[in-house]
Amino acid sequence: MKDTDADFIINKIGFIGFGLIGGSIARAIKKSRPHTLLYAYDHHANPPSADFKEALSDGVLDYVTGNLTEGFPDCDIIFLCAPVLANVSYLENLKHIVKPSCIITDVGSVKDNIHQAVTKLEMEDVFIGGHPMTGSEKTGYVNSYALLLENAYYILTPTSNTSADKLKILLNLIEEMGSIPIILDPKEHDEITAAISHLPHIIAATLVNLIRESGDISKMMKQLAAGGFKDITRIASSSPQMWQNICLTNSKVIKNILNRYIKKLETAYHALDEMDGEYLYKMFDTAGEFRDSIPNKSIGLINRIFEIYVDIIDETGAIASIAALLAGNHISIKNIGIIHNREFEEGVLRIEFYDEESEEAAKELLKRHHYHIHER
Ligand X SMILES: O=C(O)C(=O)Cc1ccc(O)cc1
Binding site for ligand NAI (CB under 6 A): 16-22, 43, 81-84, 86-87, 107-109, 131-132, 135-136, 139-140, 239, 242, 246
Q: Which is nearer to ligand X, 27 or 201 (CB)?
A: 201
Within residues 116-145, the interface with ligand X by CB under 6 A covers: 133, 135-137
d(CA 184, CA 188): 7
Cβ contact 80:87 at 8 Å: yes
Q: How many residues bind ligand X (CB under 6 A)?
A: 10
| Shortest reach from residue 135's CB to ligand X, in Å | 3
Q: Which is nearer to ligand NAI, 48 or 227 (CB)?
A: 48
d(CA 39, CA 102): 14
Q: Which is nearer to ligand NAI, 33 or 111 (CB)?
A: 111
d(CA 23, CA 144): 5
Within residues 231-250, the interface with ligand X by CB under 6 A covers: 235
Half-sphere exposure of 241 (CA within 13 A, CB side): 10
| Shortest reach from residue 285's CB to ligand NAI, in Å | 32
Binding mask 274-313 for ligand X (x = CB under 6 A): ---------------------------xxx----------
Cβ-based neighbours of 46, under 8 Å, separated by 6 or more: 66
105 binds ligand X (CB under 6 A): no
109 binds ligand X (CB under 6 A): yes
Q: Which is nearer to ligand X, 5 or 231 (CB)?
A: 231
Alpha helices in the chain (DSSP H): 5-9, 20-32, 50-58, 84-95, 112-120, 164-176, 186-193, 199-212, 218-224, 228-232, 240-249, 251-273, 277-292, 318-328, 356-368
Which entry of ligand NAI, ligand X, none binds 20, CB below 5 to 8 A by partner kind? ligand NAI
Q: What 3-state DSSP class applies to 16?
A: strand
Cβ contact 173:2 at 8 Å: no
